[in-house]
Amino acid sequence: MQLICLDDDPRMEVVLDRFLRRFGHAVDFHVSVASFKAALTSDDPDLILLDLGLGQESGIEVIHWLGKAHPGIPVVLLSGHGDELLDTVQRIGRSAGIQVLGAVSKSRAAVELPTILKKRLTQAAHGPRQALKMPEALTRKGLEGTIRRDRIAPYFQPIVSPADGRLKGAEVLARLQLPSGKVLGAHEFIPLAESTDLIYAVTETLFERLIESRQTIAGSGLGFIAVNLSPLILQQERALVLMRRLVDGLGDTCAIKVEITESAASAYPEIVRSVAAQIHLMGMSLAIDDFGIGHSSMRVLAELPFDTMKLDVSFVSEMFDSAKALKLLRAMIRFGQTLELQVVAEGVETEAQRQVLIEAGIDLAQGYLFGKPAPLELLADTFSVPNASAGA
Ligand code: C2E
Ligand code: CA
Ligand code: CA
């Protein structure tokens, strides 16, 4: 593998060269930003090793430059500073559009670098990363037709008590069944629905399907179902018509929780306040979704009648990134519980994450570790609830 390295400390050249050669890699070493940039214009290496402390010059600036000039070449960051800075800079790199494979503290380079290089080699062997292609290009017209043909399906993802894995409720996630039989995930059509004002029709159809399967829901052992409400619907008078129909349609089948994202809640606090109050009056509860990454979080929580806080998935997926990340997660859980909210962790994928969440006293958890979103019948099978499909 051909590597290029920018580090103002010439002693690093000897260190790197010696040990990279052992693994059969060649490294082109530069101590100045100018010569590093010049080398990149004539050559396309497989990997960049970038030191962050460059004396007079800044590694951060180089990162931004790379994002514009050479976004395709993956980067490994080197630093003589602590892990915390590396974590911050890794984020800067990702938002600048470059692929940051990892960050290595110089004192541990000999131990950590080989693992990262190995990862890069396996990646290269599988060819360059291809952009994800839409299986069938979906247009507004296509989506409209599909909604009409009742191809919107509710999938259910279990929400459990993490200590014993007991099923407490489920989040309803929309899926689109294409005529070809392919099932599209929400991220593949919800944005289109939102940008073409079809989101109301999607939600309406989804709710109708839920009402149709009320008997299956009743036998499924779910204490509650949680539905997502787009900010675009919240802004419409008919939002309440939609919610009223769901409440009446499901009757006493199970409790209903409405999820509103933190970004919607902070963008339209007045509208959300009024809708939230009416949602409560109809007997539903309210969750703030993807909490912790938006703005004005604290205020929104204090002023709006939420019962549940769903922590943004990033708190779970990044909990082991640094000691601070772990502390932040614990503090967020305590914070939610201090406000007497039920706190839910999303995106739980590993046993290690589950253990941390249990120790931190989380109320509920959701994620692939407990179950992926699936049709209700499959969810009931997984959790083997007696009489799960009785009367369906
Ligand atoms: P969300 O409300 O945050 O839903 C959670 C998303 O995380 C779901 O993606 C779920 O499949 C995914 N997920 C669950 N567990 C894990 C895990 O362990 N690891 C990972 N990596 N992902 C996990 P999905 O179903 O693709 O939905 C994406 C988003 O689309 C949802 O995010 C929600 O904002 C929106 N959405 C889904 N259904 C509806 C709907 O009926 N109406 C509206 N307005 N939005 C919806
Ligand atoms: Ca949600
Ligand atoms: Ca969420």
What pLDDT does residue 134 have? Answer: 42
Q: Is the pLDDT of residue 391 over 70?
A: no
What DSSP string describes 72-141? TS-EEEEESS-HHHHHHHHHHHHHTT--EEEEEEGGGHHHHHHHHHHHHHHHHHT-SPPPPPPSS---HH
Q: 167: CA distance to ligand 3 center in Å?
A: 18
Q: Does the beta carbon of 262 lie inside 6 Å of ligand 1?
A: no
How far is the centre of ligand 3, averaged over its atoms, from the C-alpha of 85 (Å)? 28
pLDDT at residue number 392:
35
Report the distance separating Cα 17 and Cα 392, nearest Å: 68
Question: Which protein residue has the closest C-alpha to ligand 1 atom 9?
Answer: 186
Residue 141 CA to residue 158 CA, distance in Å, equals 33
CA 255 to chain centroid, in Å, comes to 26
φ, ψ (nearest 5 deg) of residue 344: -115, 130
Q: Is the CB of 353 under 6 A from ligand 1?
A: no
Would you state the pLDDT for residue 128? 47
**Is residue 83 predicted with pLDDT exceeding 70?**
no
The domain defined by 151-391 carries CATH number 3.20.20.450: yes
Closest CA to 232 of 207, 256, 258, 267: 267
Q: Ligand nearest 190 Cα, by number?
A: 1
Does the beta carbon of 228 sit less than 6 angstroms from any atom of ligand 1? yes
Res 345: pLDDT: 98
> What pLDDT score does 351 carry?
97
pLDDT in tens, 96-150: 888 888 888 877 777 778 778 877 777 666 654 433 344 456 788 888 888 877 7
Name which residue leads in pLDDT, 125 or 325: 325
| Best of 190, 351, 378 for a ligand 1 pocket test (most atoms within 8 Å of beta carbon) | 190
Ligand 3 centre from 310 Cα, in Å?
Answer: 6
Domain residue spans of the chain: 2-125, 151-391
pLDDT digits (tens, 9 = 90+) for 27-41: 899 999 999 999 998
CA–CA distance, 286 with 288 (Å, rounded to integer): 7
Query: Mean pLDDT score of the chain, rounded to an integer?
Result: 87
pLDDT at 119: 75
* Domain 2-125 sits in CATH 3.40.50.2300: yes
Q: Rounded to whole angstroms, how far apart are CA atoms 207 and 188?
A: 19
Ligand nearest to the backbone CA of 193: 1
Ligand 1 contact, 173 CB (< 6 A): yes
Q: Which residue has better confidence, 175 or 191?
A: 175
pTM above 0.75, yes or no: no
Dist CA 226 CA 98 (whole Å)? 36
Q: Higher-confidence residue: 301 or 202? A: 202
Which pLDDT score is estimated for 269?
A: 83
pLDDT of residue 217: 95
Smallest CA separation from ligand 1 atom 21, residue: 347
Name the residue with tokens 């062997």.
125
Ligand 3 centroid to 313 CA: how many Å?
7
From 103, 108, 113, 94, select the one nearest 321 (Cα to Cα).
103
Mean pLDDT for the stretch of residues 197-210: 94
Q: Residue 89: pLDDT band by 50, 70, 90 thresholds?
A: confident
Ligand 1 pocket, mutate which of 147, 159, 173, 232 (most atoms under 8 A from CB): 173
